[in-house]
C-alpha cells in the first residue's frame, strides 16, 4: 500500500512517516521545505532503516504535482502541507488562503483524476473558535478567529462537499489539539523558524539558553491557576492517530471529523513545572498580558476517535517534556548545521 504524504518533512509529518515505514507502507513525500529541512528526511531513514520516494514540490505547482500521480500508484493521501503561523496569517491572509486552499484544491483535483479518493487531512482544534466550552466534541458549532484557522475550517467544508458530491470518497478530518514532544530517539522534532510562537518550543529554547525567559500570556483566566489550559498531546501519539485514520479511510467511505487529544487540560504553569521536574532544568518566566485571540481553556473529548478509530493517546505530560527536551538539547539549533 502506497501513501502520499504532503508536508512529510515537517514536524508531525516526519513522525507519521516513521510509523508508516515501520508498518511497511510504501511512502512518497511531497514537501517544498518552506517550513522544514532536508535533514529531517535523512533522520527518518536513519531511524527506520527504510527508504521512500521524495519530491521537492509545492502543491501550487500543479504540473509537478501531477507528475507524482503519473509516476506512482497511490492508494491514499495524508495531507499535512500548509502554512500554520497564526500571527503571520493575520498579516498576510492572501498568502495563507492561496497556499492552503488552492493547494488543497489542486491536490484533490489530481486525486479525483487519478482515482485516489482516500484522504487524511490535518485540521486543528482552532475550528472550535472562542465560544465553545471544553471538553470539545466534534459536533459543536465551528468558527474561527484568524485566517489560518479559517483555511482549516474552509478545507474541512470543501472536503465534506467533495464527499457529498461523490460518496466513493473517504476522508478523515483530524482535529489536532496541541502537539508537543518528539521521537524518543531525539533525532526528529519540532524545528520552528525564528522565534517560536508555541509554548513548548519556547520553553525548550529558554531551557537550552537561547532565550532569556518565558512570557506567560495572562494569569487571570478562569482556570485553576489563572494561566491558559490546553490539551497537550505527544506527537508520537498523534502520529499513531494518523495510522488508525489511514486504516479507517481504506475500509469505509465518508467524511468524518475526529479530535486527536488526550482529553486532559494542563495550564501553562503546569507545563513549566512538569518540564522542570522531568528535566531538572529551570525555566525562568514572567507573567505578561494575555495574547490576543487566546481563550482560557481548550481541551478535547476524544471519545469519538476511540470508538471509531480505536485510538487513544498513551503518553503523559512528563514523557512529552522529556522527549521535547532530548530533541532540543541534542539539537540546540534544530536541523540547522546538522
Query: Cβ of residue 6: shortest distance to ligand UD1, in angstroms?
Result: 17
Which residue in the set 122, 124, 256, 331 belongs to the binding site for ligand UD1 (CB under 6 A)? 124
In whole angstroms, give the CA distance from residue 312 to residue 240.
9
In whole angstroms, give the CA distance from residue 247 to residue 218.
41
Query: Cβ of residue 245: shortest distance to ligand UD1, in angstroms?
Result: 18
Comparing CB distances to ligand UD1, the nearer of 97 and 217 is 217
Query: Cβ of residue 38: shortest distance to ligand UD1, in angstroms?
Result: 23
Q: Report if residue 217 touches ligand UD1, rule: CB under 6 A.
A: yes
Query: Cβ of residue 293: shortest distance to ligand UD1, in angstroms?
Result: 4
Q: Report if residue 268 touches ligand UD1, rule: CB under 6 A.
A: yes
Applying CB under 6 A, what is the total number of residues that bind ligand UD1? 20
Contact 228, 217 (CB under 8 A): yes
Comparing CB distances to ligand UD1, the nearer of 25 and 121 is 121
Q: Report if residue 171 touches ligand UD1, rule: CB under 6 A.
A: no
297 is written with which cell numbers? Answer: 481553556
Peptide bond into 135 cis (omega under 30): yes
Which residue in the set 198, 253, 316, 329 belongs to the binding site for ligand UD1 (CB under 6 A)? 198
Which string of b and e fits 9-30 if b means at least 16 CB within 10 Å?
bbbbbbbbbbbbbeeebbbbbb
Which residue in the set 64, 105, 215, 283 belongs to the binding site for ligand UD1 (CB under 6 A)? 215
Comparing CB distances to ligand UD1, the nearer of 89 and 170 is 89
Comparing CB distances to ligand UD1, the nearer of 52 and 325 is 325
In whole angstroms, give the CA distance from residue 156 to residue 145.
16
Q: Which residue is at the shortest CB distance from ligand UD1?
A: 228
CA distances from 266 to 32, 61, 205, 233, 262 (A): 34, 41, 20, 11, 11
Q: How far apart are the first and last CA of the chain?
A: 32
Strands 76-79 and 232-234: unpaired
Query: Cβ of residue 202: shortest distance to ligand UD1, in angstroms?
Result: 4
List the x/- string, 271-310, binding to ligand UD1 by CB under 6 A.
--------------------x-xx----------------
Residue range at the interface with ligand UD1 (CB under 6 A); choices 10-18, 99-107, 135-143, 210-218? 210-218
Q: Report if residue 178 touches ligand UD1, rule: CB under 6 A.
A: yes
**E-strand spans in the chain?**
2-6, 26-31, 53-56, 76-79, 118-124, 170-176, 178-180, 214-217, 229-230, 232-234, 254-260, 266-267, 285-288, 297-298
280 is written with which cell numbers? Answer: 531538572
Comparing CB distances to ligand UD1, the nearer of 87 and 332 is 87
Which string of b and e fits 99-126 if b means at least 16 CB within 10 Å?
bbbebbbbbbebbeeeebbbbbbbbbbb
Q: Report if residue 216 touches ligand UD1, rule: CB under 6 A.
A: yes
Comparing CB distances to ligand UD1, the nearer of 149 and 241 is 149
**Under the phi-then-psi rule, with left for phi > 0, alpha for psi from -120 to 50, and beta for the rest, what region is 297?**
beta
CA distances from 157 to 30, 58, 76, 127 (A): 24, 22, 20, 11
Residue range at the interface with ligand UD1 (CB under 6 A); choices 45-53, 62-70, 195-203, 240-248? 195-203
Q: Which residues are catalytically annotated? A: 148
Applying CB under 6 A, which residues contact ligand UD1? 84, 86, 124, 126, 149, 178, 197-199, 202, 214-217, 228, 230, 268, 291, 293-294
Amino acid at each position: 500500500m502506497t501513501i502520499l504524504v504532503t508536508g512529510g518533512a515537517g514536524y508531525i509529518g516526519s513522525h507519521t512517516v516513521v510509523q508508516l515505514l515501520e508498518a511497511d507502507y510504501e511512502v512518497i513525500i511531497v514537501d517544498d521545505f518552506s517550513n522544514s529541512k532536508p535533514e529531517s528526511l535523512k533522520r527518518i531513514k536513519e531511524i527506520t532503516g527504510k527508504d521512500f520516494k521524495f519530491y521537492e514540490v509545492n502543491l501550487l505547482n500543479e504540473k509537478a504535482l501531477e507528475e507524482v500521480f503519473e509516476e506512482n500508484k497511490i492508494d491514499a493521501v495524508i495531507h499535512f502541507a500548509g502554512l500554520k503561523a497564526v500571527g503571520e496569517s493575520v498579516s498576510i491572509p492572501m498568502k495563507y488562503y492561496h497556499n492552503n486552499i488552492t493547494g488543497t484544491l489542486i491536490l484533490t483535483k489530481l486525486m479525483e483524476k487519478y482515482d485516489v479518493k482516500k484522504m487524511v487531512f490535518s485540521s486543528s482544534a482552532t475550528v472550535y473558535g472562542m465560544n465553545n466550552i471544553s471538553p470539545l466534541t466534534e459536533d459543536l458549532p465551528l468558527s474561527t478567529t484568524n485566517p489560518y484557522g479559517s483555511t482549516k475550517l474552509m478545507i474541512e467544508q470543501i472536503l465534506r462537499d467533495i464527499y457529498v458530491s461523490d460518496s466513493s470518497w473517504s476522508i478523515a478530518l483530524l482535529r489536532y489539539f496541541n502537539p508537543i514532544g518528539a521521537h524518543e530517539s531525539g533525532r526528529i522534532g519540532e524545528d520552528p523558524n525564528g522565534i517560536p510562537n508555541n509554548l513548548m518550543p519556547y520553553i525548550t529554547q529558554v531551557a537550552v539558553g537561547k532565550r532569556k525567559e518565558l512570557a506567560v500570556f495572562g494569569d487571570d483566566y478562569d482556570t485553576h491557576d489563572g494561566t491558559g489550559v490546553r490539551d497537550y498531546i505527544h506527537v508520537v501519539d498523534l502520529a499513531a492517530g494518523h495510522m488508525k485514520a489511514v486504516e479507517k479511510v481504506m475500509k469505509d467511505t465518508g467524511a468524518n471529523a475526529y479530535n486527536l487529544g488526550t482529553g486532559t487540560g494542563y495550564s501553562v504553569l503546569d507545563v513549566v513545572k512538569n518540564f522542570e521536574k522531568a528535566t531538572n532544568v529551570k525555566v525562568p518566566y514572567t507573567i505578561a498580558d494575555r495574547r490576543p485571540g487566546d481563550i482560557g481553556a481548550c481541551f478535547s473529548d476524544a471519545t469519538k476517535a476511540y470508538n471509531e478509530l480505536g485510538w487513544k493517546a498513551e503518553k503523559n505530560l512528563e514523557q512529552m517534556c522529556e522527549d521535547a527536551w532530548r530533541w532540543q538539547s541534542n539539537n540546540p539549533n534544530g536541523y540547522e548545521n546538522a
